Amino acid sequence: MQYKENLQQLCPATFAFGVIGGKWNLPILSMLSNQPVVRYNELKRGLDGITGTMLTNCLKELIDYGIVHREQYPEIPLRVEYSLTPSGQALVPLISSIVDWGEQHIESLIAADSSSVSPRPL
C-alpha cells in the first residue's frame, strides 16, 4: 500500500487509479465483477499470461485495500473463494465504463499506437 503514507497529499483520483491501476488489478476486478464468487484457479485460467505469484500479490493488495474479500473454507482440498466487497462492488459501474470506452476506441488507440504513440503501460 505504497500510497498510504502520502494519503493527505494525493488527489482522490490519483489514489483511486493507483489502487485499481497496474497491469492485472483491473482485469482481476473485471472478472470478479462478472461472478459473485471466483476461485483462485478460475482467476488464473481467465487471466492469460499472469503468473501465480503475480496473481497472489495482486489479490493480497486488493484485499489489503478492502476491495476484495477472501474466504477460506476448512475443507480438504482447501477451498478459497474471492469476491468483491461493498467497496469493490462500488467500482463495478466504473469498470464497465472503462471497458465500454475501450471497446469504442480500441481501433483508434491501436492505430495511434502503431504510429509511434505509446501509452504508458499500466
- pLDDT tens-digit map of 69-109: 999 999 898 899 999 999 999 999 988 898 899 899 888 88
83, 29 in Cβ contact below 8 A? no
pLDDT, tens digit, 9 for 90 and up, residues 18-48:
888 888 999 999 999 999 999 999 999 999 9
Burial of 72 (0-12, 13-18, 19+ CB in 10 A): exposed
Q: What is the CA radius of gyration of the chain?
A: 16
Q: Which domains does the chain have, with CATH numbers?
A: 4-114 (1.10.10.10)
For residues 60, 2, 46, 81, the Cα torsion angle rounded to the nearest 10 degrees is 20
C-alpha grid cell, residue 51: 503468473
pTM of the model: 0.78
